[in-house]
Structure 1
Amino acid sequence: MTTVAAYAAPAAKAPLERTTIERRAVREHDVLIDIKFAGICHSDIHQAQEGWGQATFPMVPGHEIAGVVSEVGPGVTKYQVGDRVGVGCLVDSCRECDNCKAGAEQHCTGGSVGTYNAVGKDGEITYGGYSQKVVVDENFVVRIPDGLSLDVAAPLLCAGITTYSPLKHWGAGPGKKVAVIGLGGLGHMGVKIAHALGAEVTVLSQSLRKKDDGLKLGADHYYATSDPKTFKELAGSFDLILSTVSAPLDFGAYLSLLRTGGALVNVGAPEEPIALNLFSLIGGNKTLAGSAIGGIAETQEMLDFCAEHGFGAEIELINADQINEAYERVQNSDVRYRFVIDTATI
């Protein structure tokens, strides 16, 4: 066991505070990672505040982890000391079900294990990346390409794969018109990735406040959804709409923006249920879908794709004692576009 410093929420909705946690000794197939940077995902806030249901405390959030390998178990074959690596939303799965065998560990029917606020196969609570070190099975670690600096790579472990996976699955590419709802931590990565895939990209945001940013990130068009004319002008325009917001939407209005056979895919997860008139789906053979991160192999594919195209996340680097302030700013949509903790300050 190794004692390391961390930032934890002691109870639901309580401010995070500095503490210490125990990391397990390195097992045969484990990798010990010195965490260098950890992204702050809106999911961290939802879970620390029990917005998605009952949680386990104390909670050390963080599933956007970038660091360097400092020790490997005797059976490790994929990594060695000094390698630049990342850990995303999962640290284990059953590895035996059809989904796991197909590389979709995020949909493990035996129960995947989250990087934090979960119980591992050993019965121990998992603690996330707001800490100095983490021990993870090598099969749930990914390699960060040399073309990506660790700080801008960290948010790719959730925000990157969460947008890359549905964009690839639903065929974003040349000749396709893609809209991204929201230009936040997820949305700005959706714009970058959809643009790099070759799609014509439109941002749908509440206002035009971030229009210049959106266009610089790769959007071809930018519209304010607070303007009723937007929905009239863009009716029937898009092959794919990616919703990255965590607030309830008028899905009927957004479905009207799809072409026949188009899809609206949700990666944002509002805490409240939504209402939907099914005629907005039936008319035009439209699809309302959801998507959750990606498997380990696809996460590696995404990292390689981002490195090949020369981009990571747009970040604001903060010290650990600024985490609570950062949570407030995320909830107020006051970040461009991902907070990343310099874990040397923990």
Structure 2
Amino acid sequence: MPPVLDEFQGLSAFDAIMRYGNLGAGAEHLGISKSTLSRRISHLEHQLGQPLLHRQANRLIPTEAGTLFYQYCQQMLSLGERSQIALDELREEISGDITVSAHPHFLRGWFNHVLTDFIEEYPGIRLILTANHLPPSRDDDQVMLWLWEGPAKDTGLREEILGQQQQHLYAHPSYLRQHGHPQHPSELTSHDWVNLIDRHHPNLVLNHPEEGEYRLSLPPSRFTVDNVVVHADHIAHGAGIGLLPDYHVRTRATAHPGQFEACLPEWKGPSIPVSLHYPFGHPPRKLGALLDHIRRRVPTDWTR
């Protein structure tokens, strides 16, 4: 077989002819003269040992060999582009500013630890973390990465689902001793309910592995908040029953055991998607490093 090409000029020349059909347009696309483009095509055909193109009227038409070779030409050009990107990244330091916008529910706990570990691993990084109740949007060009909880539609950004947070009903043990343990979701209407804005709608759907769905009209909440940490605080103070992410409860139990007791543990609330959002295209190396860092630290129960 003929030797493999040492560089991609001939492949780029052939690709330009296949795309544009003539020397003039192909040369203009590559920014070279027609004579240079013609020489590169001739050199490529000489190396391959057979003609790739023949003239028909004012166009250059691929031969049977040219049509076959073009498939491999595209693959080799794509590989060459990817290898160049990889080499460029080796020269690019993981340093500089990264602005991250996170749903307020992630400002404490898991995500905060992830970001702290990241800047310790890469001393050249300066990280700016902001809280935002508004969904991710490509209109905010200052933010490089968004961490979002719940549905996010039409953001104009690439969406990467990290996992699903499972939820159950919880209360403080003292509340349950005083008011009793509900035995069925229908009994929740007689209990105090602690609500979370934008999370718990008036009609809550609970799921049981055997009994299926149960739609519950929530009782009025005497305390409503838009932050899951404060929401959990109020439940932990014995204010009533509320729906909490299991991961948040387990994390909190390591520092403050005994604050929460599951109610109706067989009944599960709606799961909550957790997602990353970032611009389309090949990410800068510093963003790629942060994405990999986050992916490696996703809580295991989010991916079950």
Q: TM-score over 0.5 for the alignment?
A: no
Larger Rg belongs to = 2
Larger RCO (CA under 8 A, 6+ residues apart) = 2
If the length of structure 1 is used for normalisation, what is the TM-score?
0.24
Write 1 or 2 for the structure with the bigger share of helix.
2
